[in-house]
Amino acid sequence: MSETLRTVVGPDGRTLAFAVWGDPDGFPVLSLHGTPGCRLSRWPDDDLFQRLGVCLVTHDRAGYGRSDRRHGRRVADEADDVVVLADHLGFERFGVTGASGGGPHALACAALLPDRVVRATCEVGVAPLGPPGLERAEWLAGQDPENVKEFGWAVAGEDVLYPELERELAAIAPRVAVDPSSFLGNFELSDEDRAQLARPEQMQIIRETFAELAATGVAGWVDDDLAFVEPWGFAVDRITVPVLVRYGATDVLVPPAHGEWLAANVPGCVVKIDDTAGHMGPDPVQEISENLHWLRDGVPPPESR
């Protein structure tokens, strides 16, 4: 039976909030939410994880939901919280998956926890900004203007970013309460992404996530954005764990140039390009199943390379 809120206190005294879904005796997978997000960012049909024999653990990244902030955190620091969770739950070995803003954090676990992480997935994840990653113009190219604006605030620093994201959340929250599919507002999304946002399951995820992600403020969202525009704290070319890199060809939130860079720089990674997909693929259940088969059994998705 799923548990939507549990907490553990780490060695630094911070509280970490998490949830457990699926088969408690199944293969353990830690799923790292996007930006913004929280521990409720998961496919809402718990039976899917049961059928796949997976114990799925989600958590509020530091500063989100009910987890205490870790001011100044880098992408690499997520690995510390993943270890706290894994130790608390008795997971010696496990898979890690992250989509969108969770993608770099999953790569951090792959790079820094090779003795614990069996396999990892980075799905529609951003690439590093600046050497050795993409230069600023390449990193921003193809992104929706709303995204470009947000990362401009991040580059300007926390004093600019924090109040802007507070205003963003204040505008989004009432809109989501009425129509969760509208949370991206004026983003110029693909027709496929618009259709996915209108699915009842996606609207449930969005509604639940936005009700919880800023329970104690927008610090988690702020710290994610700041971490993405600074050095990550690890090098992706040092990863030795098997990694699946998946991205969509029509994505305007994390354009395909990011996925292409990761595919070329994560050693030995398996690559799946969704040729018509944007930030969300056309069949979430199939994609989740493929991902969990990869993490649990090492079976690559069809037509990957």
1 band by pLDDT with thresholds 50, 70 and 90: low
- Average pLDDT in the 240-252 region? 97
DSSP code, position 77: G
Q: Average pLDDT of 115-144? A: 97
The beta-strand segments (E) located in the chain are: 3-9, 15-22, 27-32, 54-59, 94-99, 117-123, 243-248, 270-274
pLDDT in tens, 59-114: 999 999 999 999 999 999 999 999 999 999 999 999 999 999 999 999 999 999 99
Nearest one of 70, 50, 57 to 28, comparing CA atoms: 57
Residue-wise pLDDT for 268-279, tens only, equals 999 999 988 899
Share of the chain above pLDDT 70, in %: 100
CATH 1.10.260.40 fits 3-297, yes or no: no
Mean of the per-residue pLDDT values of the chain: 96
Does the structure show a pLDDT above 70 at 204? Answer: yes
- Residues in Cβ contact with 215 at an 8 Å cutoff, skipping those fewer than 6 apart: 65, 66
pLDDT at 190: 87
Percent of the chain residues past pLDDT 90, beyond the cut: 95
Query: What DSSP string describes 102-169?
Result: HHHHHHHHHHH-TTTEEEEEEESPPPPBSTTSB-HHHHHTT--HHHHHHHHHHHH-HHHHHHHHHHHH
Q: Residue 277: its pLDDT value, please?
A: 87
Going from N- to C-terminal start, the domains of the chain cover 3-297
